[in-house]
Amino acid sequence: MAKRICAIGNADCVYRFGGDEFVVVALGLSPRHEERFARLLIQAVTRPIHINGFAVEVGASVGYDRWEQGREPLEDAAHRADLAMYEAKSRGPNQHMAFEASMQDKVAKRATLESKLRIAIQKKAIRPFYQPLVDLKSGTVCGFEALARWTDEEGVAIPPPVFIGIAEETGMITELFEDLLAQACQDALAWDDHVMLSFNVSPVQMEDKLLASRIFKVLSANGLPPRRLEIEITENALIQDPAVAAIILDELHDAGVQIALDDFGTGYSSLAQLARYRFDKIKIDKSFIATCRDDERQEKIIRAMLGLGRSLNILTTAEGIEEHRQLGHLLQLGCDVGQGYLFGKAMPAEETRSFIFNRDEVLAGG
């Protein structure tokens, strides 16, 4: 990488910033040529590298800003370029961005949110809410998926992707995960014995070789049998370190924990994951459910997924059911479990028992 970057810029002005980051000082560029230079850097870095007969591809994100040479230290300009680089990175692979003042404000807001998150975890202010999972054949509640919810001290609801992303980046995800799982286990003890607790694991956690041990410790401390826990894992979580993922899933399975493959059909290699790992359930992503009635191709894909589940003796859950016609169609196709606003939104723990009771009453009446 260094040789390629030096070939584009002056070798005396290329520095390794740390890890996989480099700083290039390019002199005498006009604003128009700055953007062209950024594109050339990306093209140079992203060319495949051939190692022992294999082509290895590397991505690149570039941020840049003008250095007021003689008026400020180089470190200040490098810091601004670094902020722009992270903004480019957040917009997808192989992007470039020039620094804007708003990026500094964004970093300040994120630092404030990170501090608030740390305090919220310490105070256990982040709570699990529960969305029902319904057996489509009987209509009864067969489980709840735990979903993290956080409302800060000012009464502002922080979106889960925002605070979970920060927790993953800062290493707070393990403490947050264990705390939420402990709360959820205690709540699940109030449900009937056949009602499962479904809990999500992030891709970052699947790189933790102690993950299974952490889960067993929480289950034991709170008295929830492993057979009542279902762990949901996205396909993308399995590609970071497949060997470690296989060990974790085997340990969980051997203890009786159920494993669900979440957002099935949206990852890199759905069928390959089913062949390599043992799953008890596949969850069909809501993007397929939303258009299945109006899009013949989507319906055929759903039929194929359900057929695959039956042939492998794996239960199927349809996510994002919002309309009665979707429910009726999925029943005809033989889907096992349903989840979505049609059945109920995520609710606090104290509402789950009454939700189960009311649904049973409706079913009994008719």
Judge if 75 and 18 occupy the same domain. Answer: yes
In this prediction, residue 10 carries a pLDDT of 66
Judge if 51 and 165 occupy the same domain. Answer: no
Strands 54-56 and 258-264: unpaired
Tell the residue number behind the tokens 């480099």, with chain if given. 22
Instruction: Report if residue 240 sits inside a domain.
Output: yes
Residue 280 in 3-state DSSP? coil
In this prediction, residue 270 carries a pLDDT of 60
Task: Summarize pLDDT for 263-298 with one digit per residue, the tens.
Answer: 887 765 567 677 788 899 999 988 888 877 677 888
Judge if 305 and 222 occupy the same domain. Answer: yes
Strands 49-51 and 54-56: antiparallel
Q: What share of the chain is helix, strand, coil (3-state, %, to 5)?
A: 50, 20, 30
Quote the CA–CA distance of 190 and 130 in Å, as a whole number.
13
Range of the domain at 20: 2-99
- Band the pLDDT of 248: cuts 50, 70, 90: very high
- For 54, the token pair is 């294999």
Counted domains in the chain: 2
Judge if 128 and 93 occupy the same domain. Answer: no
Neighbour tally for 91: CB within 10 Å: 11
Instruction: Report if residue 275 sits inside a domain.
Output: yes
Instruction: Report if residue 104 sits inside a domain.
Output: no
Quote the CA–CA distance of 181 and 198 in Å, as a whole number.
10
- Domain boundary residue among 99, 127, 144? 99
Judge if 361 and 227 occupy the same domain. Answer: yes
Judge if 283 and 357 occupy the same domain. Answer: yes
Task: Summarize pLDDT for 159-212 with one digit per residue, the tens.
Answer: 999 999 999 989 999 999 999 999 999 999 999 999 999 999 998 999 899 999
Neighbour tally for 30: CB within 10 Å: 8
- For 308, the token pair is 């695959």
User: Residue 18 sits in a domain of what CATH number?
Assistant: 3.30.70.270
- Domain boundary residue among 52, 76, 99? 99
Percent of the chain with pLDDT over 90: 59
Compute the mean pLDDT over every residue in the chain, rounded to the nearest whole number.
90
Task: Summarize pLDDT for 106-115 with one digit per residue, the tens.
Answer: 888 888 999 9
Task: Summarize pLDDT for 327-361 with one digit per residue, the tens.
Answer: 998 999 999 999 999 999 999 999 999 999 999 88
Judge if 211 and 347 occupy the same domain. Answer: yes
User: Residue 322 sits in a domain of what CATH number?
Assistant: 3.20.20.450
- Domain boundary residue among 77, 99, 121? 99
Quote the CA–CA distance of 165 and 300 in Å, as a whole number.
34
Judge if 178 and 301 occupy the same domain. Answer: yes
